[in-house]
Amino acid sequence: MCMDFLNVRGQLEALNEKADWYHVDIMDGHFCKNITLSPDLVRTFGQVASLPMDVHLMTVTPNDWIDAVADAGAACVSVHAETINTDAYRTLRRIEELGCQKGAVLNPATPLSFIEHYIDMLDMLTIMTVDVGYAGQRFIEQMLPKIELARTLKEKRGYGYRVQVDGACNEKTFQRLMNAGAEILIVGSSGLFQRDNDVRAAYDKMLAAFERAMQA
């Protein structure tokens, strides 16, 4: 959602050479007051993108979207825990049946205990460090203990999920996020795209900022 939409092909071609994953935000205008990408755009991106796509469903009824994004080429489908707890097992099994990795996302105010009964099924656990809906928001400091708990629980019980962080991942937070236990950082406007109009240069600047932060 943070890309330059007048230059999507060029940015995808550049990031194919540098990034590890693409994170695709889909919002329905109801779960959060914004509308961003769509299953059709996931399919279109797939014509250029050579990296796997983690599709983040910020939607009130994720089961209406799962088949569509899987068919469009999602490698991982990440659904909000706040939207699936009436049918979490059915939802996660459907994602797996479609050949995708299973992800759950926690809003800042949602505790890790909310997903304790199916956390062992997850391939990806995404912790939001800003409220959902808009880029460029302020980092919520209280999320660091949640990240620590997610990583500790994973290591203690041998769970297979990766701890991913979404929101305000930049030079001000890189070190604290990694020290807390983050394994994947989603870089958006402040972390990547605002650094340079040339996304290749922006990515190099982001990596340099990350290395400086980790050495501080």
Per-residue HEC secondary structure of the chain comes to CCCCCCCHHHHHHHHHCCCCCEEEEEEECCCCCCECCCHHHHHHHCCCCCCCEEEEEECCCHHHCHHHHHHHCCCEEEEEHHHHCCCHHHHHHHHHHCCCEEEEEECCCCCHHHHCCCHHHCCEEEEECCCCCCCCCCCCCCHHHHHHHHHHHHHHHCCCCEEEEECCCCCCCHHHHHHHCCCEEECCHHHHHCCCCCHHHHHHHHHHHHHHHHHC
Catalytic residues: 25, 166
